[in-house]
């Protein structure tokens, strides 16, 4: 199965059973449709929790806003909550991640301009 969406928050890495690591993240998929008999376009956003077990280092690339194409399968987790009610959640178990677009980084641009300003100031302070 294949899904494409944007990462909603920076990925996190958790240790499982002592030595295994899993990368957990969530993506948002935006879709539009037109209800029957209406000319109004409706927008729908679906959030999907994802897990990736193959390489924990991948988490460094899965930052908020990154557009990713994921390949894998859907898994169902069923449990009884504290009230004794059966609850189910879906998780997309990813086996291949393709990064399509990295998010724009305003902070990176600000940081590089600050570094350039500091270098320029140091250059002015050097007596020749």
Per-residue pLDDT of the chain (128 residues; tens, 9 = 90+): 999 999 999 999 999 988 899 999 999 999 999 989 888 999 999 999 999 999 999 999 999 999 999 999 999 989 999 999 999 889 999 999 999 999 887 644 544 454 455 455 544 554 43
Quick: pLDDT tens for 87-109: 988 999 999 999 999 988 764 45
Nearest one of 74, 66, 91, 51 to 5, comparing CA atoms: 66
CA distance 91 to 46: 13
Domain count, the chain: 1
Question: What domain range is 31 assigned to?
Answer: 2-103
Residue 39 belongs to some domain of the structure? yes
Residue 53 belongs to some domain of the structure? yes
Residue 113 belongs to some domain of the structure? no
Residue 114 belongs to some domain of the structure? no
Burial of 52 (0-12, 13-18, 19+ CB in 10 A): buried
Report the CATH number that the domain containing residue 70 is assigned in CATH: 2.40.50.140
Residue 51 belongs to some domain of the structure? yes
pTM: 0.73
Residue 35 belongs to some domain of the structure? yes
Nearest one of 41, 35, 62 to 51, comparing CA atoms: 62
């Amino acid at each position: 199965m294949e899904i494409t969406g944007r990462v909603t928050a920076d990925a996190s890495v958790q240790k499982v059973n002592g030595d295994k690591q899993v990368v957990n993240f969530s993506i948002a998929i935006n879709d539009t449709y037109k209800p029957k008999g209406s000319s109004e376009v409706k927008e729908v956003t679906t959030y999907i929790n994802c897990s990736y077990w193959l390489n924990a280092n991948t988490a460094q690339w899965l930052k908020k806003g990154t557009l990713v194409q994921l390949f894998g399968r859907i898994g169902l987790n069923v449990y009884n909550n504290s009230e004794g009610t059966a609850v189910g959640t879906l998780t997309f178990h990813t086996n291949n991640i393709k990064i399509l677009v990295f998010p724009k980084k305003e902070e990176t641009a600000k940081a590089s301009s600050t570094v350039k300003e500091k270098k320029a100031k140091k250059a002015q302070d050097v007596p020749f």
